[in-house]
Structures are given as structure tokens and as C-alpha cells.
Structure 1
């Protein structure tokens, strides 16, 4: 089981690394230089930009994306959190489509990623949404996806011994533990730390924990752990009436959502390793909801501001 006989990165570091290259941080820096003093700017700076968040790493050259973070985190003794997000047919061609074109390209990238992290303590969430999309893929796409995930797990196990790797564990509400457990096992969860729940979603922490504990039991791996994305789940998901009115896009920038609990290591309580901010608050889900003219991952200070107040 991955995690036995290795350093626990949460305990080695004690605190999470705060990114200084997020869109929220850059927006605030620009506004400071312009001399503006608005409540919006204060909220974005203090309640979003200053909170530890995950660095999403795509298929571009790997070193420029993470080398500086590793160096800074090493100097301060903080724990960096990365999201590997470059798998072929990413997001099943949805709003966040992209990634590499072949399994071979992806595997080379994953190996480089793991080697670059090396012995540094780190957390890596491996390809959110990959396993929840499996039912809609054809047989070849499924094989390719599992090959990519299993290879990446082994690459980090071999080259990054102090990294905790978490596979896609679903949203905690609309995916059943019974459907995800077989895919997790085939993707190599036995050699990873565990799985991540609620990435870029809104489900309450309690709902996600109940789901994750059931999924953990089904896996039959007593040492497996899980993390929950709490970045935008402070008010839970949008009401059922909104979901019914927007059945295919309700997850995209729904109104009335709120920032959730700040990142926190929980000390492996019943397998619940940590609460993390994985989705960066204020970055759009695409041209939906309260941001109909935005593009996926575009930073919208108004949306970040509203997430603080929950309106």
C-alpha cells in the first residue's frame, strides 16, 4: 500500500504553501499598483489570494510550471499541492478539454513531473474527473485512460517517494461508491495515497465524507486516505430547483455559492487526510451561471467577491 514506510508530507511541512502566481494574486497586485482601495480588492486579496490553493499543471513544459513553487515551498517548509491535469481527451471534450494527444506523450510528461518533484514533500491530485467520465467512454478510451493513470501512480511511487497521490474519487453526491471502486482499483489506487472528492464541486463536507468513507470501505484497502475540495462548498450545492432548471450546466458558476473551510490537515481521521482548496475560487467554470460570457478558468473578481459573502 502506498504511504507505508514513507514520510507523511503533511506532518513534515506543517502548513500549506500559498501560491503567488494565481490570477487572483496578480489581479490584486495590479489593483494595488493602480491605487484602488475597494472592498472587492480586499476580499479577493485577504480571503482568496492569501489562502493556500492547488497549482493546476497542464501539458505545457513542466519545469516552468512547478520548479519555482518547489523552491519557494522548500525554503519556507510549506507543503505544495499540485493538480496533474493533462490526460488525453481531458474533461471528455467538455469546457476544460485539452491534454495530450497520446498515451505515450502523457506517460513521458508524468514521469518528468514525478522526477522534478523528486524527494520534496508534496501532494498531487491526479487528473480530476477522469474516472467519473468512464461510463461515457468507449473501450479504447477507457484502456488509454487507465494506462495513463496507472503509469503516473507508479512514476510518483518510484521517483517522488514523499508525495501523496490522490486519484479521482468523484463529486461525493452524483457518483456512487459502487461505480467508482472498480475504476479506482484498476487505476492503481493501491499504490497511491488514496482519492480526492468534490474537486471543483459544491457538495458539503459532511456529504463528501460519508461518501468517501463508504468508497474507502468498498476498496478494501485499510490504509487508503482521501481529501475533500472545500474551496466553494460553504453553502453546499445549488438548490434542486436551480439544478432542474439547468440540468446540463448547473455546475457552472451557480449563484449563491460560498467559500468553504480553509485548507487543513486532519491527521488521518477515519481516512480523511485533509481539506484542500483545489478549484481556485473566482476562476470560471465556463460560460454558464452568473458568468455567461466567461471562458473556463478565466478569473472574475466579482465572482470571487460574491463567494466570500455567499450570494
Structure 2
């Protein structure tokens, strides 16, 4: 199933001088008909029809597909997904999440077992693309969180990300390097990290992945960061930022949040290529605030997010 971001033919639009074309303009994004939210809606259809409607509210939106060390054969899986999504006439959006020493050993710990293993994984990822167009969000928190590592591993991470940008771009992907969120690193610091990670060869950078900061805060931060990295464009994860409140310390299954703006390339900002649902609403951040393990489906949290969005009046809040 595919839904249009912007009405029109499935064509790449012309871009501005010095910046690659917006890969989302005129494209459709994929809605997984077997998503956890839609399966939950089907399970609740008779016994909890109102709650089932909230689940459909989530499941009917296009969401990114995360790929990492749990994917046994990354080349075959990417190839399969590219074929499946291509048949639906949609643009695939993937998240590459397999960097060594991932998440500093916290809730989402894991990743490839060393630099060479990561290189092979990325190469196989690119081979699965087979030159077909896709978007890849590269390593959420990979740059912002690397202070936890010794200098030699930070340097290695920058090299690995730079090589990943080159490999995935050559494979057909528009790559957005994750740049944390608006209240994590100062723009000058993050700009230096992005330059070390190969932003010059990437499509741009990604903000607010799995976080809750509101759109305006992210746009302001993204514009400042863009000016420091050669005018590169960016995308914002709006899956759970509908409340519009500042979140200073709470990032893990933060309570009192809401679904954010529906995915669109119509951002109203020439540097923001798209608002996306990168994080699946209802997928746990980890065993915090009552949640299950990281990545597990948590229907109660999904329901809370959807109910809160409905109370705000739409999925197009602040």
C-alpha cells in the first residue's frame, strides 16, 4: 500500500543549486498492511472498536523500516523489501541501525561486531538496493552519542559513517545522516561531527529520530545546522512530537506525548525535505516508564499517543 506525499507523478523533482533534488517530492511512501498497529486494530475490532480506530490511525500512516543486527541476511531482506515496496509504487524509507557499540550499551545496545563487520553489512545493504531509489536514515544517535567512546573509537565511527554514506549513495540511496535532536548538541559541535561523517556526500541529515521535540524547535535548529554544512537539507521525525512541549530530560517512552504531523514533503520550509514517521509509534524505547524491551510493540503506549493526538484535533498540531 502506498500513499502520496505530494500529488503527482513518481518523479524526482528538480532541486536548488548546490543541493540534490528533494527525493520525496512527488513520491509516495509505503504503508505496511501487516504493521503491528493494523494487526492490533484487527484484534480489537469487535471487543474494543474505539481503540481499534486509534490503532488504524497509526497503521494507515507510512513509517520507516528499521534494519539492523536482527536482520539475518541484509542483502536479501533489502532486495525483498525494495521489490515489495516498488510493486506498490512507493519510495522505500529505511533506517540503518547497526553501528558498532550502538547506543553506548544502553537499551538498544548491539550493532556490528567491529568495523570490518559493519563495512560488510553496509556493502550488502547497498547490494540489496541494486541501484533502485530509496531513502536511508543513517544510524540514529550515532554521532550525538559517541562521547561515550574513547577517541580512537570515535574516529573509527566517523570513518565508518563516511564510508557508509559513499557506499549507500553509490547503491542508489539518498542518505540522511542522523544528527540527534535540537536539545542535544550545539549546532557548531554537530556540524563538525557531520562534516567528519561525510555530510558533503550525503543528501542531508535527520533530526528528532525517536524523540519528542516540536516541529518549530527542530526547524530552527535544522536551519542553523544547514547553514554550517553547506546548505544541506534535512528531515524531521514527527511520529511522537504532537504535544509540542519541550522535553529536556525525558527521552525514553516519555509520558504525556501525542502523534505528530502526518508524513509529508509539504513542510513549508525549503530546507526541510520531509516530515517522516521514522520511529514507529507504539514501539518501546526500552524498559523505562513501564515499557517492554527496546523495539517491542507496546499497544498501550500507542493508544495513549493516538488518543492524545485526537484530543488535539488532528495529526497536524503545532
Q: Provide the TM-score with structure 2 as the length reference.
A: 0.85
Q: Is the 8 A contact 2:132 2:171 kept in 1?
A: no
User: Is structure 2 residue 24 aligned with structure 1 residue 10?
Assistant: yes
Q: Does 1:272 align with 2:272?
A: yes
Q: Deviations over 1:119-138 (max 9, x none)?
A: 22211000010110122321
* Cα RMSD after superposing both structures: 2.2
2:235 pairs with 1:227: yes
Aligned to 2:215: 205
CA distance change for structure 1 residues 186 and 129 in 2, over 3 Å: closer, same or farther? same
Deviations 1:165-206 (A, max 9, x none): 000112112321011011100100100001000000000000
1:110 to 100, 122, 129: 122
Corresponding residue for residue 27 of structure 1: 40
Matched with 1:185 is 195
Name the structure 1 match of 2:285: 285
1:56-111 deviation line (CA, Å, top 9, x unaligned)? 00122214533332122212221111000011011111100111111101111101
Once residues 182 and 68 of structure 2 are traced to their aligned partners in structure 1, the CA distance between those partners, rounded to angstroms, is 25
Change (3 A) 1:108 1:124: same
Report how many residues are paired: 291
SS in 2 for 1:124: strand
Residue 118 of structure 1: CA displacement?
A: 2.5
For the residue of structure 1 that corresponds to 2:206, the secondary structure is strand
Q: Distance in 2 between matches of 1:226 and 1:237?
A: 21
1:255 Cα deviation (Å)? 1.5
Cα distance in 2 for partners of 1:293, 1:48 equals 19
- Residue 141 of structure 2 is matched in structure 1 by 129
CA deviation profile, 1:13-54 (whole Å, cap 9, x unmatched): 62211123433233334455xx54432222112x11111000
Unaligned runs of 5+ in 1: 244-249
- More deviation in 267-276 or 98-107? 267-276
User: CA contact under 8 A between 2:281 and 2:305: conserved in structure 1?
Assistant: yes
Equivalent pair of 1:266/1:274 in contact (CA under 8 Å): yes
Equivalent-residue separation in structure 2 for 1:4 and 1:268 (angstroms): 20
Gaps of 5+ in 2: 1-16, 312-318
Corresponding residue for residue 247 of structure 1: none
1:135-186 CA-to-partner distances (Å, cap 9, x unmatched) read: 23211210221121111111012222xx210001121123210110111001
* Greater fraction of residues in helix: 1
Normalising by the residue count of structure 1, what TM-score does the alignment of the two structures yield? 0.87
Q: What's the CA shift string for 1:184-241, capped at 9, x where partnerless?
A: 001001000010000000000000010010011112x13x11000000000034666x
Mean alpha-carbon deviation: is it higher for 106-115 or for 206-215?
A: 106-115
CA distance in 2, matches of 1:238, 1:217: 24
Query: 1:296 deviation in Å?
Result: 1.0
Are the equivalent residues in 1 in contact too, given 2:253–2:291 (CA < 8 A)?
A: no
